[in-house]
C-alpha cells in the first residue's frame, strides 16, 4: 500500500485502532531489531520504514487527541 493511501486510511481511523496499529508496529520493530542482532535480517531498511510509519501514527493520534480537547473546551464554554 502506498504512503498516501495509508495516510488516508489512518486519518479516517479512530484513535483506538491507531493505538492498536502503534502497538503492532512497536512489536514489528522489536522483532526486526532482534533479527538484526542475531544476523538474520537481510533488509535493514525495513526498520527505518517501520519507525517512520510509527511516528506518523503517533502524530495522528496526538492531533486527534488535541482536536477532541479543543472541541470539549468549546462545548464547555458555551
Task: Quick: pLDDT tens for 12-71.
Answer: 889 999 999 999 999 999 999 999 999 999 999 999 999 999 999 999 999 999 888 777
Q: How many domains does the chain have?
A: 1
Q: Which domain holds residue 49?
A: 15-77
Nearest residue to 17 (alpha-carbon basis) of 62, 68, 71, 61:
61
CATH code for position 25:
1.10.287
pLDDT band at 78 (very low <50, low <70, confident <90, very high): low
Domain membership flag for residue 5: no
Q: Give the length of the chain.
A: 78
pLDDT(1) > 80? no
Domain membership flag for residue 50: yes
Domain membership flag for residue 30: yes
Domain membership flag for residue 4: no
Question: What is the model's pLDDT at position 2?
Answer: 75
Domain membership flag for residue 8: no
Nearest residue to 50 (alpha-carbon basis) of 12, 6, 9:
6
- Average of pLDDT values for 8-15? 85
Numbers of helices and strands, H then E, in the chain: 3, 0
Domain membership flag for residue 10: no
Amino acid at each position: 500500500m502506498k504512503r498516501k493511501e495509508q495516510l488516508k486510511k489512518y486519518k479516517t481511523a479512530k484513535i483506538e485502532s491507531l493505538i492498536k496499529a502503534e502497538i503492532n508496529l512497536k512489536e514489528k520493530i522489536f522483532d526486526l531489531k532482534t533479527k538484526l542482532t542475531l544476523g538474520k535480517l537481510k533488509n535493514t531498511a525495513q526498520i527505518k520504514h517501520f519507525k517512520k510509519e510509527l511516528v506518523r501514527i503517533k502524530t495522528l493520534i496526538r492531533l486527534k487527541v488535541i482536536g477532541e480537547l479543543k472541541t470539549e473546551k468549546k462545548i464547555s464554554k458555551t
